[in-house]
Amino acid sequence: MTNRKIKEAGLNPLLGYLLALTAFLLLSEYIFHKTEFAKYLVILTCLNIQFKLSEKNRTDFLLSTFGDKTKMKIRVIENFIVCTPFVSILIYKSFLFEASILFICSAILALFSFHSNFNLTIPTPFSKRPFEFSTGFRKTLFIFPFAYVLTFIAINVDNLNLGIFAFLLIFLTSLSYYHKPEQEYYVWVHAETPKAFLKNKIFNASKNVTLIAAPIIISLLVFYPSEFELILLFFIIGLLFLCTVILAKYSAYPNEMNIPEGITIAFSLYFPPLLLAIIPFFYSKSVNKLKYILND
């Protein structure tokens, strides 16, 4: 399936893998250079991908198609393939204990399946528009108390970097809400021009992520007033990436974001000033894609 997606993006599979590997290595180097908590971010990212592979509907499909033994082999191989680059980068950075823990957790996760949806309707502080935050918030509910606890620990041990990592975790979680495209009907129902549609999407997303991150940002500003500019800078960069991901989603619409969009975003993570060129590029492509569905 990965090879098919790379070919659909107009790339040779070998070139696609090389570009993805290059983007991964550059991004990893950047994260380890910027924060001492990079090892936790690497572990969380890997486990997040493996949780999605363990989704119950997916594992049930593998079970009904291949049987129990083959399904288990497939799940172990999948988790091994996913964890290999993350474990490798941890070993390269001399985090042998963390690499071992990640490898063991990956093997254990292959044995279980998880429901991605709860039958219980959890109230959210968001309206149904945009739906991304209402549904995403329920699926990633456990992340937010964790981020708030991290902030408390950061202030308690006087570690601003940990506090910044906590609110960046909120932004990274929010970015994941815009990975999958909605059905065309849910775009078509908006009686707006493409420009107004994108403007409202970005405005509502920015408002909602600010609401979730506000307790962390306010706490950091209260306890670290001298670092006001640094905290504000990370906040603005987080908003710019949120804007970029939304525009990237609709630049590929109605298809799912593919390797070119992913590599472009990865390179901008390594060198944020690229956003000044990437955002207008994705915006122009998004307007062209949406004008066939919305009134222009």
- 13-34 vs 259-270: helix crossing angle, rounded to 10: 30
pLDDT, tens only, 109-161? 888 776 655 455 656 666 656 677 877 777 777 778 878 888 888 888 888 88
Q: Cβ of 163: how many Cβ atoms within 10 Å?
A: 26
Q: Are 191 and 158 in contact (CB under 8 A)?
A: no
Per residue in 159-218, pLDDT tens?
888 788 888 888 888 888 887 888 888 888 777 888 888 998 899 889 888 988 999 999
pTM of the model: 0.66
> 94: left (phi > 0), else alpha (psi -120 to 50), else beta?
left
